[in-house]
A and B are shown apart, each in its own frame.
Chain A
Amino acid sequence: MSDHEFEKQVHQKLEELKLRPSDTVWMEVQKKISQDKRRRRFLWLWLPMLFICLTTSGYILYRFTWNTENTSNIAKAVPASISNEPNAETSNISTKQTSTIKPVSNNNSQTQKNTTAPIQKSDNNQPDVITPAAAHETTSVSTLSSKKQPAIVVTEKNIEKKTIGSKNKKQTQQTLVDYANGNIPIEGMNNITPSSVKPRYRKKKAAKEANAIKDAPVQQELVRVEEVKREQEEAMNVTMPTMVNDVDNSIATNKAVTMPFMSRYGHLLRPDSLSAANAAVSIPRKRPSLWHWGVVADVGYSRIAESKLLQLRGLFGEKYLAEDLSPSASPTGVTSGANSFNFSASTSSKKASPIQPDLSYSVGVFVQRALSPRFKLSLGVEYTYMSVNTQVGQNVKQPIVISTDTVNGKVVPEYYKTPGYSSTNADATLNGAAAISQRTYYDQKYRYRFQYLEIPVLANWQINKGRKLPPVVLEGGVSISHLLSVDALHFEGARGIYYKDNSLFNKTQFNFLTGISVGLLQRSKHPVWVGPNLRYSLNGLVDKNVSTGQYLWSTGISIKMLLGRL
């Protein structure tokens, strides 16, 4: 015989080994499969529902905040318009829609235009599973299983003694017809039942197991009395030295028995260790990539805070008024054509309207790398929308020269006045009750919109192990964002006007990001993290030469989903 003859015989013999599993194995497998199916089905219903719930709650939260802070302004406006306007025409004007806006100039067309302009209301109105490719490359095992394996060798003894051919067998035969061309029933294969042990008595003791094995028909025939003794010796790793004739083998046997066993094996076995080839040629194993990618979205509301030393006004619900960007020096008279202002001595500084929170959201993609099982770094690209709103007054479509500490004599095409009553030049030609009747209250909401392209860098640290409870992840980091577009106003208190000048906004923002999230569906292919987050700008919204500090921040609920490996 050749050197490998023994191995060949062993291999061939053991390929013939077929044991009939108990029915409960399939029942358990089927149960798990159906659970997975239900979980997958639920996933696709659950995610849209979660998104809808979060969006709705964010909107309600935003509306609640807005309504609470806006009630006082409306309450002030109502009595003023009623008491001063006994005229029936004026009284028809709604207290909210009091801006039957009149022009500042005498231009009638301009007046018409302004009159028809609507007042803005709230316009929110992988397992260790071997890949098939690897299985294909390593043909030795698979070839053996299919080619060398003669399926089953059945002896007459076995056939006579077997109690197989249960109901399951018949079911198998029936179902096989659908897939097999040969239609040869499985019943022809008299497989060996491992034992007469009742199924699923998994955690039986060794004594029961020994009895079970002893009861097997084949065992009875071949091993007989020696079987029980062997089972007892098994625990002690007895090597039957009395039966050893070969000196070399006996040495080897004794060594093996007396050799102290070190418990090294536990940490050495790897779950994916079999992904390497099983053929003679060593194939390097592919380690699963540590890079993941996914999508992230958050929805919430944003505010503007005024930051001073140890004071973040507006951050904790305080009322933050628009910052006055008037020059710090005493203002000089600025004129602009027919629309002339001279406020050097006569006009006192006007108060701005409070800045109210408004909707914010962001969507984007990210890549994430696991540095350790509980520490990950992520980098992303997001589109971020943030908005706040404020009340402004009459819109005047006339150019005006604005002046700040850095900008001197810049002309803006239009501006807004502060909310309140205003009389036009035409009022001067009227007298008495007629002049009073022409006075209207200008109050409209103006939404400041900021759109950024943001690149966040985040460190995620999983606080708990996430085995019994869902994993809780604390994340923090910074982001750099570029201002894509802006629609916002600046306030000049000296003249009480709001005007647009996008050049005053910082184009680049550095933000601090933090949040906490709970991991859901961690065993699925697309695990999800949901939790609150906070974004706070580290540098000012407006050029620091002009502003003392306006900081945009937002908070909301973030949803992050992993979509796959890179």
Chain B
Amino acid sequence: MTPVIVNHYQEMDYNRLVKDCLKGLPEAQRQLYEHFAESMLGVCYRYTKSVADAEDVLQEGFIKIFRNLHQFKFEGELGGWVRRIMVNTALNYLKKNSRYQTDLSFPDTSLHPVSDDNPEVTMQAKDLAELIRQLPAGYQTVFNLHAVEGFSHVEIGKMLGINEGTSRSQYARARALLITWLKKTTVETKKETYVRP
């Protein structure tokens, strides 16, 4: 079965949709939610440790989006705007939630070099996300912000209130740890694949 890849986001008339949402039309609001909910839950899922937490962040994020939709000036891309609100909401959630506070820490460690190891990522997106979620919360946040969101270490330092070097160090450790797990998972999968027949 050939997977159907549809990029109907670009075909969507965002301006009309946003204007209808601002008018308070429930259908438009539902439409906006349906468009972004699944991808945004994927974003939230990477920053949290449970699906329930991710859904909490998603809910909070969408409430913010609808409350502040009047600030969207149709200059940038709606998807980017929505995503940034969601990432921001996720960071706030981590800050407020005591479970994450104890785990989120950024000790000023010495600079750790980024390894040159670049293994091929063959696993599914969900599984990769699961591995990232098993990183310590601090590593997880920095890794998500740098590797996935594309923030520089300077920006991450500003966002999290840490040194740029700390961000680099945390990222290097997170990367090394993740690569190790990736290799292990790949080996285990191959073994199972071999044993299964």
Residues of chain A touching chain B, judged by Cβ–Cβ distance below 8 Å, are: 1-3, 5-7, 9-11, 13-22, 25-26, 28-30, 32-33, 36-37, 126-146, 149-156, 159, 168, 171-172, 175-176, 178-182, 184, 186, 188-192, 194-195, 197, 199-204, 206, 209, 212-213, 216, 218-219, 222-224, 226, 230, 234, 237, 239-240, 243-246, 248-249, 252-253, 255-256, 259-280, 282, 285
Residues in chain A near residue B31, CB distance under 8 A: 172, 175-176, 178-179
Taking A6-B175, A146-B7, A273-B159 as known contacts, 19 extra A-B pairs with beta carbons closer than 8 A to each other, sorted by chain A number, are A6-B117, A128-B92, A140-B150, A145-B79, A146-B9, A150-B5, A152-B6, A175-B30, A175-B31, A180-B13, A188-B4, A202-B56, A222-B123, A240-B180, A246-B115, A249-B117, A261-B105, A261-B136, A265-B160
Residue picked from B49, B124, B152, most chain A C-beta under 10 Å: B124
B46 touches A14 (CB 8 A): yes
Min C-beta distance of B98 to chain A, whole Å? 9
A156 to B1, Cβ gap below 8 A?
yes
B162 to chain A, nearest CB (A): 6
Cβ distance B163 to chain A, nearest Cβ, rounded Å: 11
**Bound Cα distance A213, B4 (Å):** 26
**Docked pose: A152 CA to B124 CA in angstroms:** 12
Are the CB atoms of B180 and A133 closer together than 8 Å?
Answer: no
Asked whether, in the complex, the Cβ of A222 is within 8 Å of the Cβ of B189, the reply is yes
Asked whether B149 lies within 8 Å of A278 as measured between CB atoms, the reply is yes
Considering the chains assembled together, what is the distance between the CA atoms of A192 and B127 in angstroms? 11
Task: Decide: A197 and B124 in contact? CB cutoff 8 A.
Answer: no
Q: Is the beta-carbon distance between B6 and A184 smaller than 8 angstroms?
A: yes
Contact pick for B59, options A28, A224, A248, A266, CB 8 Å? A28
- Chain B residues with Cβ below 8 Å from A230 are 134
Nearest residue (CB) in A for B136 is: A237
Closest chain A residue, CB of each to CB of B182: A6
In Å, the complex CA distance between A267 and B101 comes to 10
Question: How far is A15 from B149 in the complex, measured between Cα atoms in Å?
Answer: 10
Bound state CA distance, A192 and B125, in angstroms? Answer: 10
Name the A residues within 8 Å of B66 (CB-CB). Answer: 29, 32-33, 36
Q: Which residues of A contact B79 (CB under 8 A)?
A: 142, 145-146
B104 adjacent to A20 (CB under 8 Å): no
CB distance A29 to B106 under 8 Å?
no
Complex: A209 Cα to B54 Cα, angstroms: 12
Q: Which residues of B contact A37 (CB under 8 A)?
A: 24
Q: Flag if A282 contacts B155 (CB, 8 Å).
A: yes
The 10 closest A-B pairs by CB, nearest first: A142-B80, A268-B161, A136-B76, A261-B105, A265-B104, A17-B42, A154-B3, A135-B76, A273-B159, A274-B88
Q: Are B176 and A248 in contact (CB under 8 A)?
A: yes
27 residue pairs from A and B, CB less than 8 Å apart? A6-B175, A10-B128, A10-B147, A17-B126, A17-B128, A18-B41, A21-B37, A25-B59, A127-B67, A127-B68, A136-B76, A145-B77, A149-B7, A159-B1, A171-B30, A179-B17, A182-B8, A188-B6, A194-B41, A195-B51, A197-B51, A253-B177, A260-B105, A261-B102, A268-B161, A274-B87, A278-B155
Q: In this complex, what residue of B is CB-closest to A285? A: B158
| Known A-B contacts A14-B42, A276-B159; A184 and B147 likewise in contact (beta carbons under 8 Å) | no
- Is there contact, CB below 8 Å, between B37 and A213? no
Interface residues of B in 26-42 (CB under 8 A from A): 26-31, 33-34, 37-39, 41-42
Closest to B45 in A: A19
Asked if B55 contacts A22 (CB within 8 A), the reply is yes
Give the residues in chain B near A266, CB-CB below 8 Å. Answer: 95, 101, 104
The docked-state distance in angstroms from the alpha carbon of A127 to that of B67 is 10
Q: Select which of B16, B118, B136 is within 8 A of A2 by beta carbon.
A: B118
Complex: A194 Cα to B42 Cα, angstroms:
9
Q: Which of A143, A213, A245 contacts B130 (CB 8 A)?
A: A213
* Contact A252 B55, CB 8 Å, known A17-B46, A268-B160: no
Query: Are A135's CB and B176's CB within 8 A?
Result: no
Q: What residues of A have a CB within 8 angstroms of the CB of B11 in the complex?
A: 180-182
Looking at the assembled complex, report how far the CB atom of A169 sits from the nearest CB atom of chain B, in whole angstroms.
9
Q: Is the CB of A201 within 8 A of B159?
A: no
User: What residues of B have a CB within 8 angstroms of the CB of A260 in the complex?
Assistant: 105, 107
Q: In whole Å, how far is B141's beta carbon from the nearest beta carbon of chain A?
A: 8
Find B109's partner among A179, A203, A255 (CB 8 Å cutoff).
A255
Residues of B within 8 A of A129 (CB): 64, 68, 71, 85, 88
Most buried by B among A131, A149, A230: A131
Residues of B within 8 A of A190 (CB): 3
A282 to B155, CA, bound (A): 7
Pairwise interchain contact A269-B160, C-beta atoms closer than 8 A: yes
Q: Evaluate contact between B81 and A135: CB separation under 8 angstroms.
A: yes
- Shortest Cβ distance from A290 into chain B, in angstroms? 19
Does B194 interact with chain A (Cβ within 8 Å)? no
With A and B bound together, what is the CA distance between A202 and B93 in angstroms?
14
Residues in A with CB closer than 8 Å to B184 are 240, 243
Give, as a whole number of angstroms, the nearest-CB distance from A173 to chain B. Answer: 9
- Interface centre among A10, A152, A244, A267, by most B CB within 10 Å? A10
Minimum CB–CB distance from A42 to chain B (whole Å) comes to 15
Residue of B whose beta carbon sits closest to that of A175? B31
In the bound complex, CA of A249 to CA of B180 (Å): 8
Q: Which residues of B contact A204 (CB under 8 A)?
A: 50, 52
Shortest CB distance A288–B (Å): 12
Question: In the complex, which of the residues B51, B89, B152, B175 has the most CB atoms of chain A within 10 Å of its own CB atom?
Answer: B51
Nearest Cβ on chain B to A320's Cβ, whole angstroms: 53
Q: Which residue of B lies closest to A34 (CB)?
A: B26
Tell whether, in the assembled complex, residue A226 and residue B154 are in contact, meaning their CB atoms are under 8 Å apart. no
For B67, the chain A residues whose CB sits under 8 A away are 33, 36, 127
B84 / chain A contacts, CB cutoff of 8 Å: 130, 134-135, 138, 141, 274, 278
CA gap between A290 and B10 in the complex, in Å: 38
- Cβ of B76 and Cβ of A142 under 8 Å apart? yes
Q: Which residue, A168, A178, A282, has most C-beta atoms of chain B within 10 A?
A: A178
Measured between C-beta atoms, what is the minimum distance from B107 to chain A in Å? 5
Chain B 56-73 interface residues, beta-carbon cutoff 8 Å to A: 56, 58-59, 62-64, 66-68, 71-73
Give CA–CA (A240, B131) in the complex, Å. 13
Instruction: Write the nearest CB–CB distance from B173 to chain A, whole angstroms.
Output: 5
Interface centre among B37, B160, B181 (most CB of A within 10 A): B37
Give the contacting residue for B55; candidates A159, A202, A282; CB below 8 A: A202
Are B39 and A145 in touch, CB under 8 angstroms? yes
Who on chain B is nearest to A29 by CB? Answer: B62
Query: For residue B104, which residues in chain A have a CB less than 8 angstroms away from its CB?
Result: 261, 263, 265-266
Provide the residues of chain A in CB contact with B149, threshold 8 Å. 141, 278
Quick check: B76 and A276 within 8 Å, CB to CB? no
Cβ-closest chain A residue relative to B139:
A256
